[in-house]
Amino acid sequence: MLVLEDVHTHYGKIEALHGVSVEVNKGEIVSLIGANGAGKTTLLMTVCGNPQASAGRVILEGRDITNEATSNIMRSGIAIVPEGRRVFSGLTVEENLAMGGFFNTKAEIRKSQDHVYELFPRLKEREHQRAGTMSGGEQQMLAIGRALMSKPRMIILDEPSLGLAPIIIKQIFEIIGHLREEGITVFLVEQNAHQALNLADRGYVLETGRIRLHDTGKNLLANPEVREAYLGG
């Protein structure tokens, strides 16, 4: 589905990713964990083409997207839930969702909207409320819902648990598990290593711009190094 081959990314002169290779297969949940500044978000942004990789290749469904424009990439069956939610705070829930399906027809938008309300009944209740006035958890649900509006085959989540209460995090992860059942490929970037690895089919550990470990989620959870560094021993 998504393949990164030896990707290097620079911010100006500083190299943030030193040759990262990651593979996400169709229908699986892949988690990427790592400490602050390891380059997790940079990796995601490289997939989205902002900034573009300075070396290596990014391949989405067999198509080389390394040098494509962000807007083009985001219209080819991939959706991202950006870090920190970033909902349109002045727009209502319904309008936020409609923005998510910007390039779809009205009928399609209605269908995906009903689907999102099914996943998040909470959003249905708040349909006409401005997104900025909702709680963090609700905003995160909206951000995920908005990403689902374009009916993506693959969804990328950047720290969906950021700043949320444990019970909300649990709900969010349940939904992510549910997405896999629907056949959506999930690429999850998390600091919350325990939950992310528990859910994932496979996981990668990123450290200062390099892939340090790569294994199934279960094995990584059991790995003493990972336990030491990310799970508090």
Partner 1 sequence: MAAHNFKHALFCAVVTMVIAFPILGLNLVARGTRVGLEGADASTIISVFVAAAIVFFFQLYRDTIMGNLGKLPALNPLAGREPMPQAKRVKLESWALTGIIVLALFWPFFVSRGSVDLATLVLIYVMLALGLNVVVGLAGLLDLGYVAFYAVGAYTFALLSQYMGISFWMALPIGALLAALFGLVLGFPVLRLRGDYLAIVTLGFGEIIRILLNNWTSITGGPNGIGGIPEPTLFGMEFGRRVKEEGNTSFHETFGIAYSGEHKVIFLYLIALVLAVITALVIRRLMRMPVGRAWEALREDEIAARSLGLSRTAVKLSAFTIGAFFAGFAGTVFASKQGFISPESFVFLESAIILAIVVLGGMGSQIGVILAAIAVTILPELAREFADYRMLVFGAAMVLMMVWRPQGLMPMRRIHIELKRQE
Residues that bind partner 1 in the complex, under the rule CB under 8 A: 48, 50, 69-72, 74-75, 79-80, 82, 86-92, 94-95, 98-100, 102-103, 106, 109-110, 113, 128, 146-147, 150
Query: What six digits make up the tokens of 101?
Result: 């399906």
Minimum CB–partner distance for residue 170 and partner 1 (Å): 25
Q: What are phi and psi of 25, to 5 degrees?
A: -90, 160
Minimum CB–partner distance for residue 56 and partner 1 (Å): 22
Give the DSSP H/E element, type plus range, for residue 215.
Answer: strand 210-216
Closer to partner 1 by Cβ: residue 16 or 220: 16
Task: Tell me the DSSP string of 32-66.
Answer: EEE-TTSSHHHHHHHHTTSSPPSEEEEEETTEE-T
Nearest 10 degrees: Cα torsion 197, 203, 206, 207: 70
Closer to partner 1 by Cβ: residue 95 or 215: 95
Closer to partner 1 by Cβ: residue 47 or 205: 47
Closer to partner 1 by Cβ: residue 21 or 70: 70
Minimum CB–partner distance for residue 91 and partner 1 (Å): 7
Closer to partner 1 by Cβ: residue 155 or 211: 155
Q: Are 119 and 113 in contact (CB under 8 A)?
A: no
Cα–Cα distance, 157 to 38 (Å, whole number): 17
Q: Sign of torsion, CA 176 177 182 185?
A: positive
Minimum CB–partner distance for residue 143 and partner 1 (Å): 8
Minimum CB–partner distance for residue 145 and partner 1 (Å): 12
